[in-house]
Amino acid sequence: MNCRPHGGDGNWLPMARALTGGYSQVDALLDAFVEPQRFAALPPCPGTWQAAAQEFLVVSTQEGKVASAPGYELARSLRSFVSLEAFVSVGDQLARTVDVFTQAASIVLVHADAAVVTEDAAALRRLEQSGDFFTLAVEYPYQTRESLLASAVGTPTATRVPLPASASATGSVHSLSSGGHSASFVIDTTPSSPTLRRPERRPPRVARPALRPSGLSVPFVGTAGRLARMARVGA
C-alpha cells in the first residue's frame, strides 16, 4: 500500500489548499477526529479550482561538485513561488538525474493566475535545460610529471635550414628546438644507408703562446726546500 496524503513529504499540501479554497486531504482527516463540525461542513467533493499550482522537479543534466545554485535564487524570486526543497546544496556532489531519487530539487508554484504559474515554470525549465541551474566547481585533472614538463617546456619542433658548404652534398641540415634550446643535425639522403649524424666541424685552432722577449725574468718555485729564485729567460 502506498497511501501518502498529497505527495511525498506533504509537498502538495499548499497546492491542494489553494486549489480547493482552503482545505486538503490531511486537513479533512484531522477534522474528522478533532473537529467534527468542520469536517461536516466540507463539500462532498471539490468544486472548481480556485487557483493554479505545480510542483516543479529539477532535472540535473550535469554531474560534479556544486559551487553555487543560481536556480534556487531564481525560484525564490518568482511570483508564484511557495516553497523549495533542495536535495543538493552548495558543496554537495551533483548527480545526473536518471530517476525520481536523483532529482535535484522540488519547487512548489501556486498563483491565482494560471498564466503566472506557466510562465514561472517555463523560466525554471529554460535555466535547467541550459545547464545554468547549478554552477559546478572547476576540478583540474591529475597530471603526471612528464605531462607537466611537456606543457612547461613545449613540444619540440623541427625546422629545415639551408645546407651549409661544409656539410655533405648528399645530406640536409635540420635544427631541433624546444624550450629555448636548439640542436642541429644532418640527415644523409644517400640511397645506400640513410643515417642521422651531426654536421662535421673542424677542430678549433689553438693559439700558440707568444715568445717572451729575452732579458725578462719570471719567478718559479724550486723543488729542494721550495726556495724561490729568479731565472733569466734564454740563459
Local structure of 86: helix, strand or coil: strand
Residue 206 contacts by C-beta under 8 Å, 6 or more apart in sequence?
A: none
Question: Using one digit for the tens of pLDDT, what is the confidence trace for 148-182?
Answer: 666 666 555 555 545 555 544 455 555 555 555 55
- Which residues of the chain form CATH 3.90.1170.30? 51-138
Task: State pTM to two decimals.
Answer: 0.57
Question: Cα(156)–Cα(38) distance, rounded to whole angstroms?
Answer: 85
pLDDT digits (tens, 9 = 90+) for 90-117: 999 999 999 989 999 999 999 999 999 9
Q: Please name the amino acid found at residue 41.
A: A
Q: Which CATH number fits domain 51-138: 3.40.50.10420, 3.30.70.980, 3.90.1170.30, 3.30.43.10?
A: 3.90.1170.30
Query: What is the per-residue pLDDT across 9-60, written as a single tens digit (0 to 9) for each?
Result: 778 888 989 999 898 888 898 999 999 999 999 998 878 999 999 999 999 9
